[in-house]
């Protein structure tokens, strides 16, 4: 690493070569605490469901996907062979992103977004990608929003019940069965429903690294966890807080909608990677890490998104990107290396944290002990698949942490329309 970059990162407590095993052990401790009902960073939310043993057939279900940025809805129909088809797909913005919504406004907006699906099915699978305390009837009570969604009155509400009330007030006639799922649970269910031909898996993990970050796995019944039956557990891994933070992270957290909440997510996910890059780059500019002209220019940046920082990493000498244009205007040769290594350090940390979360889930599953029946990890999210070298690094670190060090085996897969398919399956689990 460039010495100036190493000194700058060290001075501000940023360890981008964080030891992955130490993070895995801290995660496993936190997961145990949560499962035992003791205070933990991760919520370790029971879902009371497992992947179904049979494929859905000759059924349809309304699917809602309320993500970190977008709100999607459609109708999924399974034919007699269980093959799904998607119709009436619409996408709009997630309520509460641009301004604060009251509880009534929030659910009324969702009802408006679903007008095109009115009474097309009695079953609704609702992928709600936030911390929810699941109920045995398939509903869930919102613990808190993340990803900068602003609708505080919704916290503490039964999401399915409130949605049903809003839909009835908008003229829906059918008696509704609404099942709430986290997106990681939907990802896990999609992986279980659509394995590669000829493959047999010992367990399943769902992982999201996009606007937000989270994971789910199947926890086996264990006397250590009183009355816990084998079921999918939504970890809310983005809330893990037993991890070192740099000055950049602390500064970003203080400016966020909810300081002190979602610590791991704020280190790595797409909603925050751009802003934390902004904190690092502008501070580097103020401290003269670059040539004089560039230091002045970068210290005055107004913002930086994940797309903008990632565009520079993929093509540092391209001039169409925000940073590329600035560099072409006033950077010296060494400046390119300094900025690249500074931004790449953030990506490197992201990959290490993601690998640690996935490794902890595989270990907790108790599966993957033979190479012929690995744990299936279904990954979803543009930050995982498109951010500079994240996927390659995660796979490499998993190979080291799981296969070489612990003799555990895994297989990372992806599926088209995975969240939609998994949510549809979840919506039909009674």
pLDDT tens, 47-86? Answer: 999 999 888 889 999 999 987 678 899 999 999 988 999 9
pLDDT, tens only, 367-394: 999 999 999 999 999 999 999 999 999 9
pLDDT, tens only, 203-255: 999 999 998 899 999 999 999 998 899 999 999 999 999 999 999 999 999 99
243 and 271 in contact (C-beta within 8 Å)? no
- The whole-number average pLDDT for the span 191-201 is 92
For strands 131-134 and 140-144, give the pairing: antiparallel
Q: Quick one: pLDDT at residue 204?
A: 98
What one-character DSSP code corresponds to residue 379? E
- The whole-number average pLDDT for the span 341-353 is 97
Q: Quick one: pLDDT at residue 54?
A: 83
Phi, psi of 413 (to 5 degrees): -130, 165
What number of residues does the chain have?
A: 430
Q: What distance, in Å, lies between the first and last C-alpha atoms of the chain?
A: 54
Average pLDDT of the chain, as a whole number: 94
**Percent above pLDDT 90 for the chain:** 85
Of 201 and 54, the one with more pLDDT:
201
pLDDT, tens only, 75-132: 999 999 889 999 999 999 888 877 888 999 999 999 999 999 999 999 999 998 788 8
329-347 b/e (C-beta count within 10 Å ≥ 16 → b)? ebbeeebbebbbbbbbbbb
**Quick one: pLDDT band at residue 149, thresholds 50, 70, 90?**
confident
Q: How far apart are CA 365 and CA 205, in angstroms?
A: 9
Rounded alpha-carbon distances, angstroms, from residue 94 to 58, 97, 101, 106: 31, 6, 11, 10
Instruction: Assess whether pLDDT exceeds 70 at residue 147.
Output: no
Instruction: Assess whether pLDDT exceeds 80 at residue 148.
Output: no
**Quick one: pLDDT band at residue 146, thresholds 50, 70, 90?**
low
Q: Quick one: pLDDT at residue 44?
A: 94
**What is the pTM (predicted TM-score) of this model?**
0.92
User: Rounded to 5 degrees, what angle do the CA atoms 80, 83, 86 make?
Assistant: 115
Instruction: Assess whether pLDDT exceeds 80 at residue 430.
Output: no
For strands 123-128 and 177-181, give the pairing: parallel
Number of other residues whose CB lies within 10 A of the CB of residue 399: 14
Closest by Cα among 47, 130, 132 to 94: 130
Q: Quick one: pLDDT at residue 94?
A: 85
Q: Quick one: pLDDT at residue 130?
A: 83
**Percent above pLDDT 70 for the chain:** 99
Instruction: Assess whether pLDDT exceeds 70 at residue 340.
Output: yes
Residue 353 is inside which H or E element, if any? helix 333-365
**Quick one: pLDDT band at residue 298, thresholds 50, 70, 90?**
very high
């Amino acid at each position: 690493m460039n010495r100036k970059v190493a000194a700058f990162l060290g001075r501000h407590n940023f360890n981008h070569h964080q030891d992955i095993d130490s993070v895995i052990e801290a995660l496993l401790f936190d997961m145990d605490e949560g499962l035992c009902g003791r205070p933990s960073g991760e919520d370790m939310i029971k879902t009371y469901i497992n992947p179904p043993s049979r494929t859905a057939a000759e059924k349809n279900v309304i699917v809602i996907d309320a993500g970190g940025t977008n709100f999607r809805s459609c109708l999924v129909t399974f034919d007699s062979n269980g093959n799904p088809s998607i119709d009436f797909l619409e996408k709009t913005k997630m309520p509460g992103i641009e301004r604060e919504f009251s509880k009534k406004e929030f659910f009324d907006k969702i009802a408006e977004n679903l007008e095109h699906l009115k009474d097309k099915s009695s079953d609704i699978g609702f992928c709600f990608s936030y911390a929810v305390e699941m109920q045995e009837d398939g509903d869930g009570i919102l613990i808190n929003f993340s990803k900068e969604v602003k609708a505080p009155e919704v916290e503490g509400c039964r999401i399915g019940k409130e949605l049903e009330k809003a839909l009835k007030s908008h003229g829906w006639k059918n008696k509704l069965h609404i099942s709430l799922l986290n997106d990681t649970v939907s990802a896990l269910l999609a992986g279980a429903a659509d394995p590669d031909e000829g493959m047999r898996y010992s367990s399943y993990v769902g992982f999201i690294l996009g606007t937000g970050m989270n994971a789910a796995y199947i926890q086996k019944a264990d006397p250590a966890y009183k009355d816990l039956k084998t079921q999918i557990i939504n970890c809310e891994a983005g809330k893990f807080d037993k991890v070192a933070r740099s000055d950049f992270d602390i500064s970003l957290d203080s400016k966020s909608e909810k300081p002190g909440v979602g610590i791991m997510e704020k280190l790595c996910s797409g909603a925050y990677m751009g802003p934390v890059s902004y904190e690092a780059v502008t501070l580097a500019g103020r401290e003269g890490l670059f040539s004089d002209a560039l230091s002045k220019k970068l210290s005055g940046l107004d913002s930086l998104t994940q797309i903008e920082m990632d565009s520079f990493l993929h093509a540092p000498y391209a001039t169409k990107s925000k940073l590329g244009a600035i560099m072409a205007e006033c950077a010296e040769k060494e400046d390119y290396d300094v900025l690249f290594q500074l931004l790449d350090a953030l990506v490197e940390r992201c990959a290490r944290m993601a690998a640690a979360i996935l490794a902890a889930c595989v270990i907790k599953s108790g599966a993957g002990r033979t190479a012929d029946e690995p744990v299936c990890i279904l990954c979803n999210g543009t930050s995982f698949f498109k951010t500079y070298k994240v996927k390659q690094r995660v796979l490499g670190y998993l190979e080291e942490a799981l296969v070489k060090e612990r003799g555990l085996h895994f297989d990372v897969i992806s599926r088209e329309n995975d969240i939609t398919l998994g949510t549809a399956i979840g919506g039909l689990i009674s």
